[in-house]
Chains A and B, each alone.
Chain A
Amino acid sequence: MAMQSQNKRSRFGWLGSAFGQVPTLGWLFGMLLSALIEHAVGYRLALGVGLSSIPPIFGVTVIFATPLLIPNALLYVVLIYVLPVAGLALVSARWTNKICAWMLGAPMISQLVHLALFYVDLQLWASVGDYRALLAKLILIAIIVTLSLNVVNGYMGEFSCSHPGFMALGAYGASVVTVLLFTPNNILGTTLLPNSAALAPFVFPLALIFGGLVASLGAVLVAVPSFRTRGDYLAIISLAFTFVVKSLIENLEVFRGARGFMGMPNVASLPVVFFWTVLSVWIINNFVRSTLGKALNAVRDDEIAANAMSVDTSRTKMTAFLFSAFWAGLAGGLLAHVVQYINPSSFGILKLSEVLAEVYLGGLNSVVGSIAGAVGLNVLMEALRPLEVLKWIVIPVLLILVMIFRPTGLIAFKEFNPIDLIQPRSKSTGEVEHAAAAD
């Protein structure tokens, strides 16, 4: 029996170890090749394989819309995605490992190169169609929101229902700035900077930051009561906060209330959204790995002991809420400019369920988990779109199953070290080889 399993391992094991030797750079080159092939022959190949057009997200939408075409979609995925990516990654493993090792001398440059290559891959993939570009932007925004919620719910162990409120504050804050400055509007009057639409992309970051700061200001209303309460009462106060924000916006005529606010300039392109997502992942990851991040964990695990160990719990809670709210507000501002229409009802209980599902599905206390949860849930929602209203039965059932079998989420408590991504992989063991000059 043991001999048989050993043989089995050696028959396919070489595949695993061969792939294990491919560094991240190899995968990125593979994806580049795949995206280029898709641009060149994708449409013709899709028709040839029997599909009516290029499948938008790796064919997952086909699963429920036209199940008979699943084999065709699978063939397309294998030909366009799996083969080029795996092929180029394996074939170039030796050279990409050498490049990685050479770039390791300057880790920051190496990370930037990896990021740039990933961005090129994403842009090429997304430029095949508008649907892909929109989906990519929405997923990137979801990543920011999920990360920000994970800071409070996962790392600090609270149950905060206030993030839709933060997003709403950020969305309206950023939109007011850009509309005030660049769009003639019958409520806010003519633009303050007439004929300067070209300036919009440069003012946009400032508008986003302003939105984030407005959200942080709102977070004070949630953070202050949290000093005296925990857990359940914080859930109520944050829920009341979300309702208050929603009602407030509905009643302010300057925002047109429940009819919705529109007219934002079209400045949230994919590079912009990508930049802010990368920035948020970098900053939030550094935050949770820092002393302040460990303080969050300490407050979660045992507040009294943390206090006794000289952790200022009030300051920690306040910082966590303000920090988290800033990023949620920023994401809200981005969302407003991507969709170019916001109304208060899109920041209510359904949005709350969505962001909570992303965090708890992906995993608490983990950056990787948040990214996985955001991507996973959004792709799942797109895949289930043909089911229409039943989508909102399948997703909750899935989440309940995850809660029953893995209550903290799928990829919880996993640290994320970007340095690991740029390492070359060793030839003999397939392990990540940490060069002496790392960090």
Chain B
Amino acid sequence: MASFLQNTVSALQFGSFYALIALGYSMVYGVLMLFNFAHGDIFMTGAYIGFFISTGLVALAATGFLPLPGWALLALVILLSMLATSLVGVLVERVGYRPLRNAPRASAAVTGLMIGIILETGNLALLGAGRKSFPELIKTTTYVIAGVNITNTRIMIVALSILLMIGLNFFIRRTKYGMAMRAMAYDFAVVPLMGVSIDTIAAMTFAIGSGLAAAAGIFYGIAYPVLDPYMGVIVGWKAFVAAILGGRGSIPGAALAGFLMGFIEIFVAAIFPSTVRDLIAFSIIMLILTFRPNGFFGEPYSAQLRL
């Protein structure tokens, strides 16, 4: 029982990474009908930006310039990285996806893959192949509750992720821009007729998605402090699969499916040898998608007659 709870805690943490990244995928798909294959690498970029900002702030604090306590530094790091990575996301949208808005979707998908490669290689070229380690901003203290070891960082990660998701939900449901995004997801062609600029909303969608991915990157850096340029590949692709599982374009679906993916992975790793973890996780996904191809919350498959 204790190990089950332990695994649940790990799964919640892992799931929150997948959920945050999957939200980015789902939002972009819902609003723009395109899969941003570069999103995993934006997650990686967010982690690295977080690394640089936090090293910088730690150095500043050491010189006595900004003597803030650890958690304040962390909050600053998260905010600044989310901002910076949003800009990266907007740049990616402007350069890579806007010219292809009317092109066949496969071309946009290929472009996304290529942008991902550019981000990875750029990182490799600029920073070298050595791995960076995320500086420790808060001292980790472990609490033991009911025989389960929970660190404060884990609690913080899960709590902050859920907070971000609630914030996102508020934004989508209660603000004008959120309404514009929902309108674009509902009926793309009519939105400009209502006086809403597609370019603005698209940029905003990418910005929010990238910001969430950056948060996920920083949390990942806190949990597993070693960063390498290809970390976005595995985590990003699994989150992508989670987004599809939740139903493309569905935000609650993406969040739930992200957590589900975390659970599947952790419990499969607990029961089976760890090398087959990916194999079984992906096989389960393939099975679910074969029988429910639209994911859990996606719209049912309806054939479209083109007249």
A positions within 8 Å CB-CB of B: 153, 157, 159, 221, 224-225, 228-229, 231-233, 235-237, 239-241, 243-244, 247-248, 250-251, 257, 302-304, 349, 352-353, 356-357, 360, 389-390, 392-393, 396-397, 399-400, 403-404, 407-408
Contacts and interface: CB of A to CB of B under 8 A. Distances in A.
Contact of B114 (A243, A251, A357, A390): A357
A357 B110 contact: yes
Nearest to B272: A251
A229 B293 CA distance: 7
A404 B101 CA distance: 10
B58 interface: no
26 contacts: A157-B106, A159-B109, A221-B286, A224-B290, A225-B289, A231-B105, A236-B241, A236-B289, A239-B241, A240-B282, A240-B283, A241-B286, A243-B237, A251-B279, A389-B124, A392-B118, A393-B117, A396-B118, A396-B121, A397-B114, A399-B114, A400-B111, A400-B114, A403-B111, A404-B100, A407-B104
A349 B305 contact: no
B114 A244 contact: no
Contact of A244 (B240, B283, B305): B283
Nearest to A392: B121
Contacts of A221: 286
Contacts of A250: 275
Contacts of B294: 233
B84 interface: no
B135 interface: no
Q: Which of B113, B115, B125, B306 has the most CB of A within 10 A?
A: B113
Interface in B117-172: 117-118, 120-122, 124-125
Contacts of A228: 293, 301
A201 B305 CA distance: 53
A408 B279 contact: no
B100 to A, nearest CB: 6
B242 to A, nearest CB: 10
Contacts of B117: 353, 392-393, 396
A215 B105 CA distance: 27
B121 A247 contact: no
Interface residues of B, number: 46
Nearest to A348: B233
B278 interface: yes
A257 B35 CA distance: 32
A153 B106 contact: yes
A235 B105 CA distance: 12
Given A251-B276, A393-B117, A400-B115, 12 more contacts: A153-B106, A159-B105, A159-B109, A229-B289, A232-B248, A233-B244, A236-B241, A389-B121, A392-B118, A396-B117, A403-B111, A407-B104
Nearest to A405: B99
A399 B110 contact: yes
Contacts of A302: 306
Contacts of A257: 275
B197 interface: no
Contacts of B278: 243, 247
Contacts of B100: 403-404, 407
Contacts of B108: 403
Contacts of B124: 389
B303 interface: yes
A225 B121 contact: no
A225 B293 contact: yes
Contact of A390 (B29, B99, B125): B125
Nearest to A257: B275
A285 B147 CA distance: 66
Contact of B35 (A232, A248, A251): A232
Nearest to B244: A236
Q: Which 4 A-B pairs have the closest CB atoms?
A: A247-B279, A396-B114, A407-B103, A407-B107
B110 A237 contact: no
Interface string B268-307: 0000000110110011011001100110000001010110
A404 B99 contact: yes
A408 B108 CA distance: 11
B225 interface: no
Given A237-B286, A240-B289, A244-B283, A408 B122 contact: no
